Chains A and B, each alone.
Chain A
Amino acid sequence: MAKYQEGALILSHEMIAPALRKLVLYAPQMATTATAGQFIHLAVGDDSHLLRRPLSIADADSSRKTLTIIYKIAGKGTKQLATRQKGESIDCMGPLGQAFTLQGEHPLLVGGGIGIAPLLLLAKSLCPRPSEVLMGGRSAEDMIWPALFESICEKLHVTTDDGTAGVKGVNVELLPDLLSKGKFDMIYTCGPKPMMAAVAQLAKEFHIPCQVSLEEYMACGIGACLSCTCAKTNGGRAKICTEGPVFWSTEVFD
């Protein structure tokens, strides 16, 4: 799969929750080839923060030639990124990494926090399969996702830690009940690692194949620096940037 480095024009960059930003980029080469689960590696634009930031693709529109990124301001790099304005150009590498494998007739998507972002393009790509989405977040304030998923999934299940939106609690608590009632034949998950480990464990118990999307600090993003490798269950190691970020759960979780 071809990888590109292009200066992408910022078409819009808006605040969608106190710590969440939506970035729409005009990136003709990447927008026409990107698939769900892949990421772009983006230069935040100042000399002090040398390293690019790997950000998952929330939408790719091949007719408008745009990529949409929804990210959380989590550290200095994303804080710097948030200062970039509409009309500026931003240096991007991509699309990078292995995408989700689209298969199964009744998919369940399980997302936590900012890990919900890549599930947007996934849900869109899975249409017209009747997918259900289980999402969890801290509170109503950052639970901006339901409106974005409404038209691209069959059913939504929402939890928040403080109960200000959906069911109070964490999303995986609803999972055993969903899995025993539903006819799911594929689970996709992205979010905090403990959440994905719990999802992978339940997937195993219910004999449903599961794909997970991992993250790690990255430098090159293209398999050269070996910063982001993870242990595999077979004893080997995998580069999250090129062999992932999407793995079968059994490859990386016991």
Chain B
Amino acid sequence: MSSKLSTVFAGISMKSPVMSASGTFGFGLEYSDFVPLQALGAVVVKGTTLAPRAGNTGHRIAETPSGMLNSVGLENPGVDEVIKHILPQLVPYETPVIVNISASTVEEYGLLANKLSRAPIAALEINISCPNVKQGGMVFGVEEESAAAVVASVKQNTDKPIITKLSPNVTDIASMARAVEQAGTDAISLINTLQGMVIDIHSWRPVLGNVMGGLSGPAVKPVAVRMVYQVAQAVSVPIIGMGGITTADDAVEFFLAGASAVAVGTANFANPRAILDITQGLEDYLSMKGLDHVSQLVGQVKL
């Protein structure tokens, strides 16, 4: 990887600013047959909770025009299993690992952060924006006070950098961003999925077992670029931009809007090598534009 892409994001040294988005890349290991994990900027693993979760029943995904809905419901083996059996397997790849955490109370977020503070990971991403679980998840991400309380609780329990992942399902994304910045987050990632619904016109039933789900993929990209732009105007902490990034061109838009790093989600399903292709394409774009470093793009949209 060239020095054009090497990035220090919230104190984390990365070979490139292109990482996986939580929930779309498993624990990374699942993709190791197709992608050299050491070539990724970082591996952001599946949302992890205190206790194991079975997730939602019924269909969990539905394809939509240029996108998809999911309602997995945070199925995961629980933080103890993740620390004991999964994270050690990622150590040999020498790629920063970021663990996405989700909980149903402020105290649980703190407890999760505490348990993970001694694990071989680079940072924590706080999920206050999952639309697919009844308790917790998005409820923390749509109210400024509770979002700030979660960030403060995590901050008290770890020395690792913390990234707060915002929900797009709010009326004012900029004030949410300011609230979590004031509470001490080291970085912000956005967007999580947009709430959506698909109905089967033959059975007249919702396609998803959980009725509603989270929309992702190219369909959400313009919304995501807009929100990254708005948040970049509002805060000074660095931003991981995501939402429908499928090509290097998409990634460039997010950098121009103000993101210092990007995450690739749904595109991994279409092409397991998506992150590699985007990383290579980004390097080609910088060469084409005669730029020395990816940071020269950040926030450079001309109005």
Which A residues fall within an 8 A CB radius of B?
Answer: 2-5, 43, 47-52, 76-77, 91, 93, 216-220, 222-229, 231, 237, 242
Contact = CB atoms under 8 A, between A and B. Distances in A.
B270 A222 contact: no
Contact of A228 (B60, B66, B270): B60
A52 B60 contact: no
Contacts, number: 96
A137 B73 CA distance: 36
A48 B268 contact: no
Interface residues of B, number: 35
Nearest to A220: B269
A241 to B, nearest CB: 10
A38 B287 CA distance: 43
A106 B267 CA distance: 45
Contact of A225 (B23, B59, B63, B65): B23
B158 interface: no
A222 B55 contact: no
9 contacts: A50-B68, A216-B59, A220-B26, A222-B272, A224-B25, A224-B46, A225-B26, A237-B54, A237-B75
A226 B30 contact: no
B93 interface: no
Nearest to A75: B63
Given A76-B63, A226-B72, 15 more contacts: A47-B218, A49-B63, A93-B272, A217-B63, A218-B61, A219-B61, A219-B269, A222-B31, A223-B26, A223-B30, A224-B24, A225-B269, A226-B75, A229-B55, A229-B75
A5 B270 CA distance: 12
A52 B268 CA distance: 11
Given A5-B34, A229-B55, A224 B270 contact: no
Contact of A226 (B31, B60, B68): B60
B33 A225 contact: no
Contact of A217 (B33, B46, B60): B60
Contacts of A224: 24-27, 30-31, 46, 268
A51 B31 contact: no
B74 to A, nearest CB: 9
Contacts of A76: 63
Contacts of B110: none
Contact of B66 (A47, A218, A222, A225): A47
A50 B63 contact: yes
Nearest to B273: A5
A50 B270 contact: yes
